[in-house]
Structure 1
Amino acid sequence: MSKFQDLVIQNGREIAVRPGDHLFNQGDSDSNVYFVKSGILKAYYIRADGKEHIKSFLPEGSIIGSMVALVDDDPCSFSLVAVEDGAVVGLPFSRLKEAARQDIGLANVLIDFLSVYGKRKERREYELLSLSPEERYSVLLEGMHDVAERVNQADLAAYIGVTPQALSRIKRRIKS
């Protein structure tokens, strides 16, 4: 476990979650970063037409927070919900920033984390804008096969940007 994760776990508040439990909703104010100890979280947007668009799945070991809420105190731009029974640890971002100001090693770990986070966001953007749904599904299977087996078909379809029926057709094509 990294120094970053250790800090969150040792200084944060553990929260037990069940499927459907929201840590925050789009539009809420929430200045916490969350470390996923067990289970899977789903980060998603509600579009103007009411449809859900899944931005990411967060399995054990993941850390997430709404960057606009953490940095600017703006409302969260997405919702964060548990997909499985699990446990997360929440820590106010202000405590993390203060600890990083006091410890150069932790500051470097935080920089590394933010770099990986930015890279992951760029990859996801590329997938959504440049790859076909079939290619996005293949990327999902390659990078998060265990997650793909643990979430439902509707969520997988929303993640790759198709209907559940279209995902069924993609799965059939890949098998043959």
Structure 2
Amino acid sequence: MIKESNFKNYLFQQFELQEEHWQKLQALVKYQRFQKGEFLLTAGSICQHSFFVEKGLLRFYSISVNGKEHILQFAPENWMVSDRSSVFFGEPSSFYIDAVKDTTVVMLDERFLKTLAEVNVKFATNNELLLQNHIRHLHQRLHSLLGENAEERYLNFLKLYPEVMQRVPQWMIASYLGITPESLSRVRKKMSKN
């Protein structure tokens, strides 16, 4: 078990968790390593966990009927990713989550979340805020894909994921932006001239 973790620090900051609460939760915290390319979730399966990235990088994506990948989210260190609908409703997911790099995650299941709610009164309020921020992010992402040009989407990507740029291949960035790798090259070339 990792003694001092990003996840522990995250809980203490987000929910003002006390050490006594951590002692109750620690037994429910499961760390798991995934190698580059290994799946945490596949389409058609029911998502059982939320994944907190302790170290590494994940991506959350779908694959269209013609086989094209559409990356919806990257999850670097200290980010969480999950198919919340699949977890909540117990329905098969339409998405994939895999490791872009060798990654260590904290696997959070329903039992952990229930225990966290029992030991920490701020959890419900802060979790609601986190959920609302997640919904806001999804709305912004949808607006970006439907209403912004490739340059604007690229600038938004750089703001949201400044550390991811150097860690993923260009085709993944293009997939996230909803453009071809060739279009991404043109956008980057044009922006470097300005």
Same fold (TM over 0.5): yes
Q: For residues 1-176 of structure 1, what are the structure 2 equivalents within 5 Å?
A: 1-3=9-11, 10=26, 11-100=28-117, 103-176=120-193
In the TM superposition, residue 25 of structure 1 has moved relative to its aligned partner by 0.7
| Comparing 130-139 and 108-117, the one that deviates more | 108-117
Letter in 2 for 1:127: S
Who wins on radius of gyration, i.e. which is larger? Answer: 2
Residue deviations 1:11-63 (CA, integer Å, cap 9, x gap)? 22111122101101111112111100011100000111111000010010011
Local SS of the residue matching 1:44: strand
Structure 1 unaligned spans of 5+: none
The residue type paired with residue 180 of structure 2 is: T
Q: Distance in 2 between matches of 1:112 and 1:166?
A: 36
Unaligned regions of 5+ residues in structure 2, if any? Answer: 1-8
> Counterparts of 1:12 and 1:121 in 2: how far apart (Å)?
27
Describe the SS at the equivalent of 2:127: helix
In 1, Cα distance between the equivalents of 2:115 and 2:81? Answer: 18
Number of paired residues?
Answer: 175
Deviation at 1:95, TM superposition (A): 3.3
Which segment is superposed worse, 134-143 or 94-103? Answer: 94-103
Q: What's the C-alpha RMSD, in Å, of the aligned pairs?
A: 1.9
Q: Distance in 2 between matches of 1:41 and 1:140?
A: 16
